[in-house]
Amino acid sequence: MFETLILMLDATMRVSTPLIFAALAGLFSERAGIVDIGLEGKILGSAFAAAAAAAIFGSAWIGLGFGILASVALAMIHGFACITHRGDHIVSGVAINTIVAGLTVTLSMYWFSMGGQTPTLSGDARFLSITLPFANALADVPVIGLIYSELLSGHNILVYLAFAMVPVTSWIIYKTRFGLRLRAVGENPHAVDTAGISVAFLRYRALIICGILCGIAGAYLSTAHNAGFLKDMSAGKGYMALAALIFGKWRPVPVLLACLLFGFLDAVAIRMQGVVIPGIGEVPVQAIEVLPYVLTVLLLAGFIGKAIGPKAVGRPYVKERA
């Protein structure tokens, strides 16, 4: 029983990683006052760019770089529409998601002729798991050995980076001058402008950070968690990250816990496939796979209590004239 729990928690860490990156990306964006429905599109676009570059150059790190570049480019398009031209944030985000969903498949078919997929990655083209020191030696030690060798060891570097980004994000948001200004611009951009600070520049910087984190999330999906790009492989993770962001009320640690909750449900869904439950029988795979998405809808429907976001989020900023 204990071993099964450890294995499920191990799977939870792997499944939660892209959610953590994407949710933290959304945190930077929304703390600056920009609604980013386009998280889904950035994850998918970066997943394709990372897999394509890794397949061509044979390096997962080059793939990660291209994935980040693709995601930041999409973030800048969103910023150009919402910040520079004060467009509707939701419309811009949905447009990015729609365009990327079609463009990734079209480009992969044109470049690789594999039905919307990229070639299977192997060797240096993937981020491989890392065995921590003494993991093999401690594997037979009761309890502690299993936790260290199975739960903590054996993940790739992006998994560890995702969890490390939570305290880093918390420090940036709450302990730095940039974080103070970021929170201020999401609450009262007029006050920030009055202080002589560029609202647009702050928001663009927040979107660049958002793009970088989404780029890592997408690269993880295609070059670490999987061995290549598949059509629509983001599978709603951008929307689930937004739900986790709201569930966590725009604070890094609660957002992490929300992502782990979604990841645990996803791990349970994978584990329960084909399991026969007494009195019910074998639960349909579709019913199990839909569990995380059902929880997302329930949370967003208000079962978590009222979550109040930054006051200026989603509102176009118009500079007051003297």
Could you give the CA distance from residue 80 to residue 208 in angstroms, rounded to a whole number?
12
Question: What pLDDT score was predicted for residue 275?
Answer: 66
C-alpha atoms less than 13 angstroms from C-alpha of 78 in its C-beta half-sphere: 39
Could you give the CA distance from residue 13 to residue 267 in angstroms, rounded to a whole number?
9
Q: What is the DSSP letter of 304?
A: T
Contact 50, 66 (CB under 8 A): yes
Question: What pLDDT score was predicted for residue 306?
Answer: 66
Ranges of residues in the chain with a pLDDT under 70 are: 273-277, 279-281, 283, 285, 288-289, 296, 299-300, 302-307, 317-322
Question: What pLDDT score was predicted for residue 207?
Answer: 95
Percent of the chain with pLDDT over 70: 91
Could you give the CA distance from residue 221 to residue 206 in angstroms, rounded to a whole number?
23
Beta carbons within 8 Å of 193's beta carbon, 6+ residues apart: 199, 317, 319, 320
Could you give the CA distance from residue 161 to residue 166 in angstroms, rounded to a whole number?
9
Question: What pLDDT score was predicted for residue 152?
Answer: 85
| Pairing relationship of beta strands 281-282 and 276-277 according to DSSP bridges | antiparallel
Q: Is 11 exposed, middle or buried, given 0-12, 13-18 or 19+ CB atoms closer than 10 A?
A: middle
Question: What pLDDT score was predicted for residue 262?
Answer: 87
Question: What pLDDT score was predicted for residue 295?
Answer: 72
Say whether 155 sits in a helix, a strand or coil.
Answer: strand
Instruction: Count, in order, helices (H) and strands (E) of the chain.
Output: 13, 2
Question: What pLDDT score was predicted for residue 273?
Answer: 67
Domains of the chain, by residue range, sit at 2-237
Question: What pLDDT score was predicted for residue 321?
Answer: 56
Question: What pLDDT score was predicted for residue 51?
Answer: 94
Average pLDDT, the chain: 86
Residues paired with 276 in a beta bridge? 282
